[in-house]
Structure 1
Amino acid sequence: MNQLQAILKQYWGHEAFRPVQEEAIQSVLDGRDTLVLLPTGGGKSVCFQVPTLASEGVCIVVTPLIALMKDQVEQLRRRNIPAAAIHAGLNRHEIDIILDNCIHGHTRFLYVSPERLRTDIMQERTKQMKVCLLAVDEAHCISSWGYDFRPAYLLIAEFRTLLPGVPVMALTATATAEVQADILEKLEMQRPRVFKQSFARANLSYSTFREESKERKLYQILSKVPGTAIVYARTRKRTQQVADWLNTQGLRADYYHAGLPHRDRSDKQTAWLRNQVRVMVATNAFGMGIDKPDVRTVVHLDLPNTLEAYYQEAGRAGRDGRKAYAVALFNAKDIEDLLGSVERKYPPVELVRRVYQSLANYYKVPVGGGELASFDLDVHAFTGTFGLPLSETHFALKLLENEGFLQLSEEYYASAKLHFLVDNRQLYDFQLRYPDYDAFVKLVLRMYGGELFTEYVKISEIELGQTYYASTKEVQQRLRFLEERSIVAYQPQRDKPQLTFLTPRFDAEQLPLNVYAIGRKKELDQQKAEAVIHYAQHERQCRSLLLLQYFNEHDGQPCGQCDVCLRQRKASAGHEAGLDLSQQILVHLHQHGSLAPRALSQAFQQVPEKQVLTALRHLLEREIVHYDDQGNLILNPNHSL
């Protein structure tokens, strides 16, 4: 067993690497820029985590989603690998501590958003770090051809100049040829090596069904296919409605979306992972970073916006290599809604400027100020204050985010956090001066440990209160008392989504919106929506081949298990059976000379009458059999058996 296999075994418990992984790992260890294209569930994170553990220094991981970076950090920590993440929910002191730990070698993985790379503190501290690898996750976001373009990814090439000689590894699960070329160019990858695993999933059966009663079809699918399932719905309200309906039908189901409190989402996810809940009905907020290999079915009740998104979400089925099913249900209204959603995503530029100006007024952010400042966002209160249309404002905010001016966090819950600002001696002095706080301080240290002195630690005011026999309000008052005396830094829990200004605030009239690029992006979104519709409606080509061709794989073979392949096989079998029946009819007529139609039908009474009539009609149409003057069936004398 070599060093890389030993690391894989020690931390992940696997004996061997999956295809492509070890070659990609060796590539960056050789100092080569590397692009890795692996399908969902292919083990992308191992490709940058293993070489980091085989090297000295920290790996900086650029990733677009706060939820994804938090999940990966938690997974690494569970494996006793020191990791941290910097995101918009942290204050400057928290960021200071995290970056210092990276400089002093206490952290092996630092996860950051692409927007973070432009900040002075990130750039200055990076110069002091020993960085062994720069990993760019979800690298398709760097391309305007990608399905989730993120302009801040364009900052990475500039950031690389701070890391001379450090290789970059870009990773994605979904990239067309245009996106691959864009990634290599925009990251300025030098002599890059590209490792790609086929997007074919031999164990995954794809199907689409045009259905007016989707719930009924969903119940049929879940009743027929046992095991864990994910059901994707477009709206939060619909996730709860469908989950409630499934429960009335005797199927254990729950619902999940980004608007739920953090604890609820965590509890629901844990119950599903432990198979206490069989079906999770969710928006696309569910599934990212979740490692559950035995999902047998993924059903989309609504068509996704892109085939890239569909491939990722459907690919959460069957990661254990066993047979699994990906089903998309649609009707005429879905197709209309999908095309309409592209129009709604691009509100008039005048409205976008008005929303931006209203945000600046709402949060009192002056021109030139507010960079990386975060605020609680109550969309209903905001739109009500300025008389803005709710739906259009939502899409204007998303467009401002895509243009790199804002960052929106849909997390509706952030745990309380605590960090001790003093050392043990100073804390002991405080306890002597304030004996009423001695027991409380000792309890906090006992519950959350010595890490309180080195970093911010998530705490629960409720659990502290239950253990201290005090109300949550009293616990919060005591923590504020400690903060006022500079003993701790305390952040109470938040329960509203966050909005962060990523750039200094512009005058709204001078906001540098790239109108041409926005128009081009709209055209691309329309093309992607049309590709989804083509996939859903197509009835002649293997669905797996349709997906492979979309991702520029043109040498695949029909899967033999999608709805199209099964229908064609059934038709072929029926055709062969029909040919066999036709031959039997001809032999029977040859033996008996002529027969009345009813007598012929009785001779084949073991065969469904419809099949007999179909075979006979074909024989009559081809004039192999005809009627005589008495109305009996006879063979054409020119035909030989």
Structure 2
Amino acid sequence: MSEALKILQKYWKHQEFRPLQSDIIDTVLNGQDTFALLPTGGGKSVCFQIPALLQPGICLVISPLIALMKDQVANLNKRNIKAIALTGGIESNEMIDLLDNCQYGNYKFLYLSPERLQSDWILERIKSLPINLITIDEAHCVSQWGHDFRPAYLKIALLKEHFPTTPFLALTATATPRAQKDIINELGLKNPQIFQKSFARKNIAYMVFQTEDKLYRIEQILKKNPESSIIYVRNRKSCTTISTQLNALGFKSTYYHGGLSPKEKDKNMNLWMQDKAQVIVATNAFGMGIDKADVKTVIHIQLPENLENYYQEAGRAGRNENKAFAVLLTNPSDIIQAENQFLNVLADKTFLNSIYKKLCTYLQIAYGEGINEQFPFNLNHFCTKYNFPVLKTYNAFQFLDRQGVIALSQEFSEKISLQFIISSKEVIRYTSLNPNDEEIILTILRTYPGICEMQTAFNVVLIAKKSHHSESQITALLHKLKEKEIVAFTAKGNDAILTFNEIREDERTISKVIKYLENQNKLKKEQFTSVIKYVQNEQECKSKTILSYFGEIVSEDCGICSYCITQKSKKSNSLTLSAEIISHLKQNELNSRELQVKTNGNSNEVIFAIQTLLENEQIIIKSNNKYSLK
């Protein structure tokens, strides 16, 4: 038995590798650069975790997904494998300690985002680590033609200079042929071994149904397939609405979206994972690191933004290899709605320039300043102040975030985070000099004993009630104390923390990233066109359409998708119609119009049946344009 298989059995309790996993591991252990495209459920993490465990040193894992990094680190730690993630919000001192642990503490995995490599001191520390493998997860982000391109990924190739003999392993679940070539070039992979598992999921029936009443169709599907299901929706409100409607119809349903607290997410997730809820209604925030093998049905009730995301989300069905269904429900108005959501909200250069300048004005950042400054930020307030459309503005900020111009961290907290940053003695001295503020401050100190030592979740309503003051008086005092540098706090109503990663240079800042914006907009339009083709094309197997998009050409139809089922039905109808035509022609010679009347059939179906009978030489056409038996 190979050492790799022993590790798999010891830590993961699997008896054998999935297709390509063993080959990828062997190639990495031989020190070769490797590119692996393993669709959803293909077991990508094992491909770098096992070779890293088989060698001395530490594996560097570069990933853009904080949730996935945390999930993988937690899973490794559960298996008593030492792993660390340098995620956002970690102070520099703590980061130094973590990197020290990597160097001296026998850690096997260091996870970090590509943006971390832009910090020179972090890069210097990494150079001193005994790196045995560099893994680039979600490698499609390297490519300008990948669906989540991030320029910070382009810096990864610099690691080749510092680790010339260390193998690179690029992993992705979705990359078109154009993106694959781009990834290999941008990472500087040297004669890489390329592994690509087929995108075909032979047990998944891809279904597209036109329907005006989507809820009724969902009800039919869930009754026919009462096993575990996921319903993907576009926004948070739809999560709760659809889940409530399904519960009213007698289904056990829960929901999941990015705005839930961690406790609510865990609770709802467990209900579904433990089969206490048949259905989980979710936004695309759901699914990262989720591996529930027995999902029978995945339903999308709105058009996806691209086939990459759709394939990944649909692929969460049928991981136990049993027959499963990926259903897309649509109606004519969906295309217009999706265009409004995905295309009409794309920022151009003029809009991006305007947004950036107004942001600097809003936050009072002078030209040439702003780098590393943090600000509480309310998107709705900003958009209202400058009359900007919210979704388009949000997309613009997301773009600037991915380019590393700013960092936007979601908070979604209804409580203020507060800390007194002067000594407790100085706080008491301040109250003696400002008796009007004394009652509120003393109430805060009594309610939150540790507020002078650490950031503390602060409830305005509670302090207002205890101190017999209004909420506005409490908030006004906090702003006053902040201005006097007595407290540090994030005010209620701010839905994000915004950090400037570069100095303000207006047009120069935007011009550096504009080519990426133009490429991104072009790509998004092409991707959406592919979604429309998938939905509207009634002349091709749905599985074939998806495989073709990812550069995989197959000759045979899948036989189980909505197109194939329709074709089987047509053939069945055609056989019945052909038998009826032969029966009528036994009595008389008839033309096509007369045959249509006699059979009461659809004109296209009748013509198709006549052509089939002619090709099979069962009937002939006379000079009078009438048909008779041969």
TM bracket (short chain): 0.7 to 0.9
Q: Which residue of 2 aligns with 1:118?
A: 118
Q: Which residue of 2 aligns with 1:380?
A: 380
Assess, with a 3 A threshold, how the Cα gap between structure 1 residues 525 and 369 changes in structure 2: closer, same or farther.
same
Q: Which residue of 2 aligns with 1:395?
A: 395
Contact 2:574 2:608 in 1 (8 A): no
Aligned partners of 1:316 and 1:556: how far apart in 2?
A: 25
Q: Which amino acid aligns with 2:316?
A: R
Q: Which residue of 2 aligns with 1:539?
A: 538
Q: Which amino acid aligns with 2:243?
A: A
Aligned partners of 2:414 and 2:17: how far apart in 1?
A: 36
SS in 2 for 1:255: strand
Aligned partners of 1:7 and 1:373: how far apart in 2?
A: 46
Q: CA deviation at 1:524?
A: 1.9
The within-5 A match list for 1:85-484 is: 85-363=85-363, 370-371=370-371, 374-385=374-385, 388-410=388-410, 412=412, 477-478=449-450, 480-481=452-453
Q: CA deviation at 1:475?
A: 8.9
Q: Which amino acid aligns with 1:391?
A: L
Q: What CA RMSD, in Å, does the superposition of the two structures yield over aligned residues?
A: 3.5
SS in 2 for 1:161: helix
Contact 1:123 1:162 in 2 (8 A): no
SS in 2 for 1:244: helix
SS in 2 for 1:511: helix
Q: Which amino acid aligns with 1:512?
A: I
Q: Which amino acid aligns with 1:176?
A: T
Aligned partners of 1:638 and 1:297: how far apart in 2?
A: 49
TM value normalised by structure 2: 0.80
Assess, with a 3 A threshold, how the Cα gap between structure 1 residues 568 and 63 changes in structure 2: closer, same or farther.
same
Q: Which amino acid aligns with 1:52?
A: A
Q: Which residue of 2 aligns with 1:460?
A: none
Q: CA deviation at 1:126?
A: 0.5
The within-5 A match list for 1:35-114 is: 35-114=35-114
Assess, with a 3 A threshold, how the Cα gap between structure 1 residues 254 and 610 changes in structure 2: closer, same or farther.
same
- Corresponding position: 1:503 with 2:475: no
Q: CA deviation at 1:168?
A: 0.7
Assess, with a 3 A threshold, how the Cα gap between structure 1 residues 364 and 472 changes in structure 2: closer, same or farther.
same
Aligned partners of 2:333 and 2:258: how far apart in 1?
A: 25
TM value normalised by structure 1: 0.79
Aligned partners of 2:64 and 2:40: how far apart in 1?
A: 17
Q: Which amino acid aligns with 1:290?
A: I
Assess, with a 3 A threshold, how the Cα gap between structure 1 residues 47 and 374 changes in structure 2: closer, same or farther.
farther
Contact 1:256 1:268 in 2 (8 A): yes
Aligned partners of 2:573 and 2:529: how far apart in 1?
A: 33
Residues 397-434 of structure 1, C-alpha deviations (whole Å, 9 max, x = no match): 122123331233346369999xxxxxxxxxxxxxxxxx
Contact 2:246 2:253 in 1 (8 A): yes
Contact 1:582 1:616 in 2 (8 A): no
Aligned partners of 2:63 and 2:627: how far apart in 1?
A: 77
Aligned partners of 2:97 and 2:570: how far apart in 1?
A: 66
Q: CA deviation at 1:70?
A: 1.5
Aligned partners of 2:118 and 2:528: how far apart in 1?
A: 33
Q: CA deviation at 1:30?
A: 0.6
Contact 1:25 1:48 in 2 (8 A): yes
Residues 573-613 of structure 1, C-alpha deviations (whole Å, 9 max, x = no match): 222233344455667x59xxxxxx9xxx9xxxxxx9979xx
Q: CA deviation at 1:274?
A: 1.4
Contact 2:61 2:111 in 1 (8 A): yes
Assess, with a 3 A threshold, how the Cα gap between structure 1 residues 216 and 136 changes in structure 2: closer, same or farther.
same
Aligned partners of 1:185 and 1:329: how far apart in 2?
A: 39
Aligned partners of 1:262 and 1:493: how far apart in 2?
A: 20
Assess, with a 3 A threshold, how the Cα gap between structure 1 residues 530 and 389 changes in structure 2: closer, same or farther.
closer
Q: Which amino acid aligns with 1:551?
A: F
Contact 1:619 1:625 in 2 (8 A): no
Contact 2:376 2:490 in 1 (8 A): no
> Number of residues paired by the alignment?
554
Contact 1:58 1:108 in 2 (8 A): yes
Assess, with a 3 A threshold, how the Cα gap between structure 1 residues 101 and 345 changes in structure 2: closer, same or farther.
farther
The within-5 A match list for 1:587-602 is: none
Assess, with a 3 A threshold, how the Cα gap between structure 1 residues 393 and 280 changes in structure 2: closer, same or farther.
same
Assess, with a 3 A threshold, how the Cα gap between structure 1 residues 243 and 638 changes in structure 2: closer, same or farther.
closer
Assess, with a 3 A threshold, how the Cα gap between structure 1 residues 573 and 638 changes in structure 2: closer, same or farther.
closer
Q: CA deviation at 1:162?
A: 2.5
Q: Which amino acid aligns with 2:97?
A: I
Aligned partners of 1:302 and 1:172: how far apart in 2?
A: 25
Aligned partners of 1:46 and 1:493: how far apart in 2?
A: 41
Aligned partners of 1:259 and 1:637: how far apart in 2?
A: 67
Q: Which residue of 1 aligns with 2:572?
A: 573
Contact 2:543 2:558 in 1 (8 A): yes
Contact 2:406 2:502 in 1 (8 A): no
Unaligned runs of 5+ in 1: 418-470, 485-490, 591-596, 602-607, 627-635
Aligned partners of 2:27 and 2:578: how far apart in 1?
A: 57
Q: CA deviation at 1:508?
A: 2.0
Q: Which residue of 2 aligns with 1:446?
A: none
Which stretch of the first structure deviates more once superposed, 398-407 or 351-360?
A: 351-360
Assess, with a 3 A threshold, how the Cα gap between structure 1 residues 561 and 512 changes in structure 2: closer, same or farther.
same
Q: Which amino acid aligns with 2:78?
A: R
Assess, with a 3 A threshold, how the Cα gap between structure 1 residues 269 and 498 changes in structure 2: closer, same or farther.
same
Assess, with a 3 A threshold, how the Cα gap between structure 1 residues 638 and 38 changes in structure 2: closer, same or farther.
closer
Assess, with a 3 A threshold, how the Cα gap between structure 1 residues 563 and 286 changes in structure 2: closer, same or farther.
same
Aligned partners of 1:333 and 1:404: how far apart in 2?
A: 36
Assess, with a 3 A threshold, how the Cα gap between structure 1 residues 201 and 348 changes in structure 2: closer, same or farther.
closer
Assess, with a 3 A threshold, how the Cα gap between structure 1 residues 392 and 586 changes in structure 2: closer, same or farther.
closer
SS in 2 for 1:144: coil
Residues 549-590 of structure 1, C-alpha deviations (whole Å, 9 max, x = no match): 111111352111000011111211222233344455667x59
Q: CA deviation at 1:392?
A: 3.1
Contact 1:243 1:281 in 2 (8 A): yes
Aligned partners of 1:567 and 1:560: how far apart in 2?
A: 10
Aligned partners of 1:341 and 1:638: how far apart in 2?
A: 57
Q: CA deviation at 1:291?
A: 1.4
Aligned partners of 2:229 and 2:491: how far apart in 1?
A: 32
Aligned partners of 1:136 and 1:199: how far apart in 2?
A: 20
Assess, with a 3 A threshold, how the Cα gap between structure 1 residues 520 and 59 changes in structure 2: closer, same or farther.
same
Q: Which amino acid aligns with 2:575?
A: E
Aligned partners of 2:376 and 2:402: how far apart in 1?
A: 20
Q: Which amino acid aligns with 1:279?
A: V
Aligned partners of 1:304 and 1:99: how far apart in 2?
A: 40
SS in 1 for 2:133: strand
Aligned partners of 2:222 and 2:445: how far apart in 1?
A: 46
Assess, with a 3 A threshold, how the Cα gap between structure 1 residues 39 and 494 changes in structure 2: closer, same or farther.
farther
Assess, with a 3 A threshold, how the Cα gap between structure 1 residues 615 and 377 changes in structure 2: closer, same or farther.
closer
SS in 2 for 1:165: coil
Aligned partners of 1:114 and 1:637: how far apart in 2?
A: 72
Aligned partners of 1:138 and 1:522: how far apart in 2?
A: 20
Which stretch of the first structure deviates more once superposed, 556-565 or 475-484?
A: 475-484
Q: CA deviation at 1:351?
A: 3.4
Assess, with a 3 A threshold, how the Cα gap between structure 1 residues 35 and 229 changes in structure 2: closer, same or farther.
same
Aligned partners of 1:2 and 1:303: how far apart in 2?
A: 46
Q: CA deviation at 1:144?
A: 1.1
SS in 2 for 1:259: coil
